[in-house]
Amino acid sequence: MASELINKDRGQNVKMMLKAYPLRASNEVVKVKEDIENNTIVILRITPLAQRNIDELREAVSKLYEIATTIGGDIARLGEDRIIITPPSVSIWRG
């Protein structure tokens, strides 16, 4: 799923992508960071890593939180087994 947004500061079309994939190891955090920096919304299914190593999952989620807040993005939990991380141009509504 992709949509186009208008960057009002530059008057350019900016592609916004959405990716969903499983997080199987904490070293995959680098891939998530690259996606967020490339204006992609990422939905991670954390069950594979949670089933393998809960401490590694905690470390990965901590890194993801740090990445999201450092770049001005947003991060939130989606139910029991998913996390969403957004680039700075997207905010997550918490109702």
The span from the CA of 25 to the CA of 29, in Å, is: 8
Please, are residues 68 and 75 in contact by the beta-carbon 8 Å criterion?
yes
- Give the model confidence (pLDDT) of 9-23 as tens digits: 555 666 789 999 999
Domain boundaries, the chain: 18-86
18-86: CATH number: 3.30.110.150
- Give the model confidence (pLDDT) of 46-86 as tens digits: 999 999 999 999 999 999 999 999 999 999 999 999 999 99
Please, are residues 28 and 53 in contact by the beta-carbon 8 Å criterion?
no
Instruction: Specify the pLDDT at position 65.
Output: 97
pTM for the model: 0.82
